[in-house]
Amino acid sequence: MLFDPVKGMSTQSELLDTYGSACRLKGALGMDEAANRIEYIDRDRQVPPTPIESTNIDYFAGHKHRMQRKTPAATAVAHKLKKAIGLEINSQGGNSGTLDLFRWLNATALEVVGEAGFNYSFSALESNNEHMKYLTACHNLRTLLSKLWYLTPILPWALKVGSARFRRMIVDWIPFGPVRELRDAVDIVDNVATKVYRDKRNELGKTPLNVGSQMSRDVMSSLCSIVSSEEAMNEEELISQVNAVTIAAHDSTSTALARTIYILAQFPEFQSQLREEVREAHEIHGEQLNYDQLNSLPFLDAVCRESLRLYAPGLFLVRVAQENCSIPLLYPARPRDKKGEMTRVFVDKGTYIYLSLDGANRDLRTWGEDANVFRPSRWLDSTPSNLHGSRMPGIYSSLWV
């Protein structure tokens, strides 16, 4: 139920209401799993489970993870989106019209990831639709992996059986529809990732990597420029980075953008307040706002934080304990015998730990009685005492710092 795209959010809420901060679940084949809302995780002791693509940044731990996190931030492509939307509206014969905004936000997110990650344009905001096949494959990959969640525990062992050619032959023989759809989606995504990597490698071979140039600021150039034998990645790992960055960043970015715009459409008063703040910034700094100028807009920041709090692109994280450990809880949980309370959870090595981001972001004990209400002003108020020192999930980490 945690993986259900429709009921997953309500399932987490029910677990939080029924059991409190932590509970134990029985998984497939009798596997023990723990659903936690915890205060702290030692990332070297709890790491993500190994998926199909296990050589990308999302699934490294320890030193390799820290090495791969040395990547630059994304750049904006808002001007391309503005131009593309304007052309579509004009094609409808007026100054207003009906738009499939989610389609444009998907294309925008893909273009942002391509330019910032690889200095590569997918031409996602152009009039052609060649990128749609890749976007569809990325979406199907996420959806199918959720549907086939029960296969995740056996993947690390399955990947060790025989050669890659042998494993591919077995997959081709499996008559199960979702597995074949997953195979086709992986083929499309992998072919594009391989092309992006080889184009970048050829480009770097022709042009020296100059410090401070645009080429040296994208993720792939940074990774390709690593010469240390200890930190350098092989071709398979580099191609995997394209898949990791594109799928993860594109999906979460487009979802967060779409949800935020939808929320603003529901609250015209917040929309007007935000528009006024941006207009004032344009009058002071000009039409093109840089990164620091955007970050200096308090209400824009509050809207982004509140949207990500209520509607995080990911509902939970999955970790696997690498050793027996004791994990402190931010709030006490109810034990099985319902006597007293637990302030720590003891986890055995190999236990799958599901960390509920949605539960943490909507907990009434943290956010107050209006925890489920979209209220950007909470980020402009003084810090509630119960949030001091709390390390909350999300891109802001400690949200009040």
Residue pointed to by tokens 């039409």: 287
Predicted local distance difference test score (pLDDT) of residue 307? 94
pLDDT at 390 over 70: no
Inter-residue contact 142 to 51 (CB < 8 Å): no
What DSSP designation does 186 have? Answer: H
Nearest to 384 by CA among 398, 366, 397: 366
pLDDT digits (tens, 9 = 90+) for 244-300: 888 777 778 888 999 999 999 999 999 999 999 999 999 999 888 887 888 899 999
What DSSP designation does 20 have? Answer: B
Predicted local distance difference test score (pLDDT) of residue 330? 81
Q: What is the mean pLDDT of residues 376-385?
A: 76
Q: What is the mean pLDDT of residues 355-360?
A: 83
Q: Which of 16-20, 295-299, 339-343 has the highest mean pLDDT?
A: 295-299
78-246 fold: Cytochrome p450 (1.10.630)
- Strand-by-strand arrangement of the 46-47 sheet: 22-26, 32-36, 352-356, 316-321, 46-47
Domain locations in the chain? 78-246
Q: What is the mean pLDDT of residues 209-237?
A: 63
Looking at per-residue pLDDT, the higher value among 398 and 374 belongs to: 374
The pair of structure tokens assigned to 213 is 């140039």
Threshold 0.85, pTM exceeds: no
pLDDT digits (tens, 9 = 90+) for 56-114: 444 444 444 443 343 334 445 777 888 888 888 888 877 777 888 888 888 888 888 88
Average pLDDT for the chain = 76
DSSP string computed for 110-160: HHHHHHHHHS----TTSS--THHHHHHHHHHHHHHHHHTGGGGGGHHHHTT
